[in-house]
Homo-oligomer: A and B are copies of this chain.
Amino acid sequence: MVQPELCPRFEQAVGMLSRRWNALIIFSLLGESQRFCTMTESIGISNRLLSERLKELEKDGIVERNVFPETPVRIEYSLTEKGRALAPVMQEIEKWSQEWLPVQEAAEDEQEPSVR
């Protein structure tokens, strides 16, 4: 019933990072603050889920929501210090992917995906 092997903090971190889209959201904010609509486009996530995930990440203290009352209103999302501290994780994922994943040419037409 209890899994005694794993550090609960590690498990919590993995749970957060494993939540669908979270790693991509954090990665895309490592570069610079972004607006809602920019993120949906660059990440390829729907409005619904981006909204949901940003709220969760804000509650976790990883993302910050900054409102600029211009016209039309501009809202920028950025990483907190806690969020930026995830940069090394992303860097290691990037390193691994470059070393171990094949470069796949962009298929213009739909072809049988090799995995799922």
Contacts and interface: CB of A to CB of B under 8 A. Distances in A.
A5 B42 contact: yes
Interface residues of A, number: 51
Given A18-B19, A18-B22, A43-B3, A10 B93 contact: yes
A70 B85 CA distance: 47
27 contacts: A2-B44, A3-B41, A3-B42, A3-B43, A3-B44, A6-B24, A6-B42, A7-B97, A8-B104, A8-B106, A9-B97, A9-B103, A10-B94, A12-B101, A13-B93, A13-B96, A13-B101, A14-B23, A17-B17, A17-B18, A17-B93, A59-B115, A60-B115, A85-B100, A88-B92, A89-B89, A91-B92
B103 A96 contact: no
A4 B88 CA distance: 23
Given A9-B104, A89-B96, A92-B92, 12 more contacts: A3-B44, A6-B24, A6-B28, A9-B98, A13-B97, A14-B93, A17-B93, A18-B19, A18-B20, A18-B21, A18-B23, A56-B115
A95 interface: yes
